[in-house]
Chain A
Amino acid sequence: MIKVQENDFDVNLEIKKITSQNKNIGGVGLFIGIVRDDYDKKLKSMTLEHYPIMTEKMLEKINLEAKNRWKLIDSIIIHRYGKLYPGDQIVLVATFSQHRKDALEACEFLIDWLKTKAPFWKLEATNTGNKWVKEKNSDLEAVKKW
């Protein structure tokens, strides 16, 4: 299930919607991305912009890829856009499988992929002004292993 939305999400609720429907699920791989204020940065807000429709298409595509590579019973990607503040939830990736290995690996694959291939851009507002977040080499390296 893919959702691109401005509103916050309730992790527990989203997971229970799936686990209550399928009793074969033995484990959930989970990643929750949070807006981080690095200690010296004094982040005021982070605004996420995206490319509507392309975002959904790309997320559907990668979700399908995860399902082809691992034995997943279900999966959730919820990615927010709009103005967020330190401590706010940005993204939820949850993968459901019979056994933990499939869930954990697929979850890591999905979040690594999202970092560099989902059409989102982050604008940080700090005391010294606004700055678009640059691509990180560590993220580019992380996605290569898949």
Chain B
Amino acid sequence: MHIKYFSWVRDQIGVESENITLSNEITSVNDLLNYLKNKSEKHNKALSDISVIRCAVNMEVVNLDFSIDDNDEIALFPPMTGG
């Protein structure tokens, strides 16, 4: 699975993107966030407040209970501020 990070989420984690292989236990965005939080101190800090994390799966914004699989492109970012 390819994961992209934007804005301060990327700044805090320290990488623009990474590839991970999902274990069978990870089936939703929420599962993925919990997995990532345990990956490193930086991930844990960046993703500590889920209320300010938004997720897109294959470029569509989704809720945290959305199902994911290994072929998906996931993006994690703060609330958007366009215009």
Contact = CB atoms under 8 A, between A and B. Distances in A.
Nearest to A140: B79
Contact of A122 (B56, B59, B61, B81): B81
Given A116-B81, A120-B83, 20 more contacts: A51-B4, A51-B6, A51-B59, A54-B56, A58-B59, A79-B82, A90-B83, A91-B83, A115-B81, A116-B79, A116-B80, A117-B61, A119-B56, A119-B77, A119-B82, A121-B81, A132-B7, A132-B8, A134-B79, A134-B81
Interface hub of B4, B6, B77, B80 (most chain A Cβ within 10 A): B80
Interface of A: 33, 49, 51, 53-54, 57-58, 79, 90-91, 111, 114-123, 132-136, 139
Contact of B81 (A51, A57, A79, A120): A120
B8 to A, nearest CB: 5
B75 interface: yes
Contacts of A33: 83
A114 B7 contact: no
Contact of A135 (B6, B8, B81): B81
Interface hub of B4, B7, B56, B78 (most chain A Cβ within 10 A): B7
A52 B68 CA distance: 21
Contacts of A133: 81
A135 B83 contact: no
A111 B83 contact: yes
Contacts of B56: 51, 54, 119
A58 to B, nearest CB: 8
Contacts of A53: 59
26 contacts: A51-B4, A51-B56, A51-B77, A58-B59, A79-B82, A79-B83, A115-B81, A115-B82, A116-B79, A116-B81, A117-B82, A118-B82, A118-B83, A119-B6, A119-B77, A120-B82, A121-B6, A121-B7, A121-B77, A121-B80, A121-B81, A122-B81, A132-B7, A134-B78, A134-B81, A135-B81
